[in-house]
Structure 1
Amino acid sequence: MYNPKAFAVEDLPQLHQMMGDCRLAVLVTHGEHGLQASHLPLLLDPQQGPNGSLYGHMARANPQWRDLEAGAEALVIFAGAEAYVSPAFYPSKAEHGKVVPTWNYVAVHAYGSAEVFSDPHRLRNLVSALTDRHESTREQPWKLDDAPAEYIDSMLKAIVGFALPIQRLEGKRKLSQNRSPADVAGVRNGLAASPDPQDRVLAHLMPEQSSKE
């Protein structure tokens, strides 16, 4: 992705944190049928490989897994907080008027080639781990064993799993770092006062101070 130095994130633990904060990723491949994309929850193992590895599954009826099986490079997009930035937020608007709208956002792109698997035991462990992650905040978490064993077995036959060692990572935090400290504060305060909860989340990520680069 286009990633000016002022916005680039290169710290691996920070990249992993940004990926973990995104609950639903987008897996993009190009193969025999052109570009394909699937929206998937994924698990990140930061200890597997120099950049970590991603694990997920998709419906066996989804033809995209055959791109992975054929060795196609995959792009996995983790889109984080995002917000529209109005020129009205900038104090510099009153000074010279040379401001335009933009968008602030956080994103990570991960690249790699995946191994596809259908082993029932391995699939069960993957699905169980994904379930545990997303049920962990519930008062009474649902477990895989709560469903009849034969039903789970039939569902596992309908999916394929994949393991994707990350070969390359690109991270971006576009948080008005290229603006003056006064403009950064104006954007942060404007978004923090917004009725839109997504705007307020983005405001929380913005630095208290910034220097124009």
Structure 2
Amino acid sequence: MSNEPVAVPDELPAMQADIYSHLAVDARLLAIASDRLRTGGRHSVTVVSVAEAAGMTHANVYRYFQSKSALIDAIAAQWLKGLEATIASIADGPDPVDDKLENLLSIVAHAQRDLMVENRNLFEVYADAAAGSRVIYRRFRARLKQLVVRVLDEGMASSVFEIRDRENAATFITDTASRFIHPVAIRMDSQMPREMFDRRLDVIIHVILRALRSNYI
């Protein structure tokens, strides 16, 4: 895939100003920046261009986002917020605990892979944040671990999981599934067919669940 930025049509600012005029200022700026990132890549997201599209001066943008990097990270953080809400609903849901863990890992893996296919520019921002261990990714990793631990606690309380050390078990899960839940690994395997990805992920999840049930960790 070419890394050359895609030209954004001149009429886009006026269109965006009309489409997002009902939003609060910070949400409007983020929506405009998200559109520009999707269509033109990170090079098309500038404070000046986003301000023009929102019908304001660039000084107003800095009231909400300290820099272009902060604005771009906020786009990725918004996407992660949606993913976090989805996996939190799984952890808090009524399903059997082993199904919860399987669904949680599967959704994290597939959401990231789908993002890579559907919005490659946003995925690259997110993957770079992970590679650089930036705040938005560290926060997501911490939230993911928190939810995994919540499921482990439930599994231990119901005797579905036989675990010696909960912290070691949580680390084992993230380490074992890393190839399928870490965006940099997903990017490296971008040419892997979806069927193969799913098959390998299923095997890894099966291994994790078996280890958790066997008093091995």
Scaled by the length of structure 1, the TM-score of the pair is 0.25
Q: Which has the larger share of strand?
A: 1
Q: RCO higher in 1 or 2 (8 Å CA, sep ≥ 6)?
A: 1
Q: Which has the larger share of helix?
A: 2
